[in-house]
Amino acid sequence: MKKLFFISISALLFFGIFSKELMAQEQPMAQRITLQYGSHREGKRMDAEMQRWREYGLGQFIHWGVYAIPGGHWEGKSYNGAAEWIRSWSEKSGAPAGWQKTYDNLYKQFNPTDFDAKAWARQAKDMGAKYVIFTTKHHDGFCLWPSKYTGYTIKNTPFKKDIVKEVVDAYDAEGIDVYLYFSIIDWNHPGYSSGIPKAEKDSLAYEDFKQFTRNQLIELLTNYPSAKGLWFDGSWDAAWIEQAAWTDELEKELRAFRPGLIIGSRFRADEYGKRHFDSNGVLMGDYEQGWERKLPSTIEQTKGNDWDCVMTIPPNQWGYNSDWSSSYIKTPYDLIAMLLQANSLNGNFVINFGPDGKGRIRPEEGDIAKQIGEWMRVNSEAVYGVTYAELPKPDYGYYTKKGNKLYLTVFNKPVNNIIRVAMAKTAEQKPSKAYFLADKKDLKLVSHNIGLDRDNNLYYDITLPDDFSSDMPFVIVIDLDEAAKKDQGNYRDALT
Ligand code: FHN
């Protein structure tokens, strides 16, 4: 492996592809190096399962586990990090004495008597989520299903019941697709290591851990056959990155085991340690999973790939944190703006929820879900199954498109009440009608050539009613019509 690594590094240096700019780009075929464990696909997956994924628009993430008991605080002390990471709190950074031992025994009190998977699923459905990503196992290694490969599971808590099964069944019943989140980090497994094992006994232990990981993944796919995909996390560990050959095999095995399975770009690295995109800049996995708590602002940044953005409601807390008092909490308005930004650039947007130790979704999150749901009930046509509209982003908000309908979700209402849509004179489709999505009321639509020098656009002015006001974003539907092309003759370019 080392020798291969050395030769490969030389090859990379020879081709000059260690330059940052070049690495960010997909390499032209002629300049690509041969990779054994890089991406195995050119272009997007076009099968029905992936097409369904592409149309979700909005999803829900749930981070839940033993960490919900402390909720970021213990014995009057507060952990200064993401609540789901609290097990890694050290005494040096203020943890109560014996913290990790305390944490490792917390599962004995995990008894979420208020957990009601059906209520969660109904709430997600009301919010408009089309898929859920559920943490079967986070970095602490605690399994919310009764894995037969470890004792650190729900089975050995006072609660006992298989939580993953309850979630899968409840969400399936609501028609919400389930994706199983799985962290390859496991602080509970004796063979787990973040760094590359050096001593022989550690390497052997890591081999055990690899087998354990593989077994758990097959177990999850076996136990929950309706799950549509695996959502991986934690694959940044040096030890895992070094396993390019093995992880590549494992991915093939998982895909063969469950045809149609969806796996993002956060599972494995290629033989040069490149993650998400291989050393030729080609996406590894079915969609890009690198947009965590961030969004692209241009279509170029998405490199034409499928992608999802996962987003927390507070700044960076995925698991339950009992104290939100000093954090900015994103409003439904903020989240809807992010949702539309994602959808307008071909991405899905996934909002995270962190239930408490009793299994309750906190009231603030419930409220946010409810308000987003109210908005979605009126406007979801601009969210589900839409694509990038191939138009520059308008200052008013975001465009999305489906068939011959262009949706403009307006966040900035112009002071003169006239929304001016610019379209290239050469565009094949032209606006023929505009109306509010909410009540289908027609809006006045007038086209102009406003006579700017060397301007390649035509302008379509949509007038909002004088008495119209809205404290939430609203959607204007613009019907696009081939026949309207004939109108082009009515406009003249400006003379110079
Ligand atoms: O470390 C985790 C974090 O706790 C959380 O699970 C997020 C969700 O995408 N993933 C990791 C950080 O990238």
- How many other CB atoms sit within 10 Å of the CB of residue 205? 17
DSSP-derived letter for residue 93 is G
Per DSSP, which regions of 138-261 are E strands?
177-183, 229-233
- Mean pLDDT per block of 10 residues along the chain (496 residues) reads 38 34 66 96 96 98 98 98 98 97 98 98 99 99 98 98 99 99 98 98 98 99 98 98 98 98 98 98 97 98 97 98 97 98 98 98 98 98 98 97 98 97 94 97 94 92 97 98 57 46
| Strand partners of residue 181 | 135, 231
Taking the CA of residue 84 as reference, the ligand 1 atom at the shortest distance is: 4
Site of tokens 């929304």: 419
**Nearest CA-CA partner of 307 in 261, 339, 259, 349:** 349
Ligand 1 geometric centre to CA of 110 (Å):
22
Q: Which amino acid is at 368?
A: I
In sequence order, which ranges of 312-467 are alpha helices (DSSP H)? 332-344, 363-379
Taking the CA of residue 236 as reference, the ligand 1 atom at the shortest distance is: 13
Taking the CA of residue 85 as reference, the ligand 1 atom at the shortest distance is: 4
| Strand partners of residue 442 | 435
| Strand partners of residue 424 | 457
For residue 14, the model assigns a pLDDT of 31
Site of tokens 């849509």: 421
Taking the CA of residue 135 as reference, the ligand 1 atom at the shortest distance is: 6
Ligand 1 geometric centre to CA of 233 (Å):
7
Burial degree of 475 (CB within 10 A; 0-12, 13-18, 19+): buried
- How many other CB atoms sit within 10 Å of the CB of residue 390? 11
Taking the CA of residue 352 as reference, the ligand 1 atom at the shortest distance is: 8
Q: At a CB cut-off of 8 Å and minimum separation 6, what does 126 contact?
A: 369, 370, 373
Of all protein residues, the one whose alpha carbon is nearest to atom 10 of ligand 1 is 233
Ligand 1 geometric centre to CA of 344 (Å):
25
At residue 311's C-alpha, the angle toward residues 310 and 316, to 5°, is 125
Read off the tokens for 408.
Answer: 């403009």
Looking from the CA of 231 toward its CB, the CA atoms found within 13 Å total 29
For residue 448, the model assigns a pLDDT of 87
Site of tokens 């109210």: 374
3-state per-residue secondary structure call for 281-320 = CCECCCCEEEEECCCCCCCHHHCCCCEEEEECCCCCCCCC
Site of tokens 């086209």: 447
For residue 482, the model assigns a pLDDT of 87
Q: How far apart (Å, rounded) are the C-alpha atoms in residues 149 and 189?
A: 10
Ligand 1 geometric centre to CA of 461 (Å):
45
Taking the CA of residue 183 as reference, the ligand 1 atom at the shortest distance is: 6
Ligand 1 geometric centre to CA of 87 (Å):
14
Q: How far apart (Å, rounded) are the C-alpha atoms in residues 472 and 394?
A: 18
At residue 81's C-alpha, the angle toward residues 79 and 86, to 5°, is 60
Ligand 1 probe mutation, 86, 316, 318, most atoms within 8 A of CB: 318
Write out the H or E segment, with its range, that includes residue 463.
strand 457-463
For residue 20, the model assigns a pLDDT of 34
Pocket of ligand 1 (CB under 6 A): 63, 82, 84-85, 233, 292, 310, 318
Ligand 1 geometric centre to CA of 86 (Å):
13
Of all protein residues, the one whose alpha carbon is nearest to atom 4 of ligand 1 is 84
Q: Are the C-beta atoms of 180 and 128 separated by less than 8 Å?
A: no
Taking the CA of residue 82 as reference, the ligand 1 atom at the shortest distance is: 4
Ligand 1 geometric centre to CA of 84 (Å):
9
Q: How far apart (Å, rounded) are the C-alpha atoms in residues 189 and 170?
A: 30
Of all protein residues, the one whose alpha carbon is nearest to atom 5 of ligand 1 is 318
**CA distance between the termini of the chain:** 67
For residue 252, the model assigns a pLDDT of 98
Q: Are the C-beta atoms of 194 and 147 separated by less than 8 Å?
A: no
Please state the separation of Cα 469 from the chain's center in Å: 33
**Nearest CA-CA partner of 166 in 228, 230, 121:** 121
The two beta strands, 405-410 and 474-481, are antiparallel
| Strand partners of residue 388 | none
Q: Which amino acid is at 371?
A: Q
DSSP-derived letter for residue 275 is B
Ligand 1 geometric centre to CA of 434 (Å):
42
Q: At a CB cut-off of 8 Å and minimum separation 6, what does 371 contact?
A: 332
Q: State whether the Cα torsion 469-369-170-131 is positive or negative.
A: positive
Ligand 1 geometric centre to CA of 338 (Å):
19
Q: How far apart (Å, rounded) are the C-alpha atoms in residues 156 and 150?
A: 10
Of all protein residues, the one whose alpha carbon is nearest to atom 1 of ligand 1 is 234
Of all protein residues, the one whose alpha carbon is nearest to atom 3 of ligand 1 is 318
- How many other CB atoms sit within 10 Å of the CB of residue 94? 12
Q: Are the C-beta atoms of 305 and 347 separated by less than 8 Å?
A: no
Ligand 1 geometric centre to CA of 385 (Å):
27
Ligand 1 probe mutation, 292, 293, 294, 311, most atoms within 8 A of CB: 292
Ligand 1 geometric centre to CA of 318 (Å):
7
Q: What are phi and psi of 177, to 5 degrees?
A: -70, 140
Q: How far apart (Å, rounded) are the C-alpha atoms in residues 437 and 377?
A: 11
Of all protein residues, the one whose alpha carbon is nearest to atom 6 of ligand 1 is 318
Please state the separation of Cα 451 from the chain's center in Å: 43
Q: How far apart (Å, rounded) are the C-alpha atoms in residues 452 and 207?
A: 68
- How many other CB atoms sit within 10 Å of the CB of residue 60? 24
Ligand 1 probe mutation, 62, 79, 230, 233, most atoms within 8 A of CB: 233
Ligand 1 geometric centre to CA of 229 (Å):
17
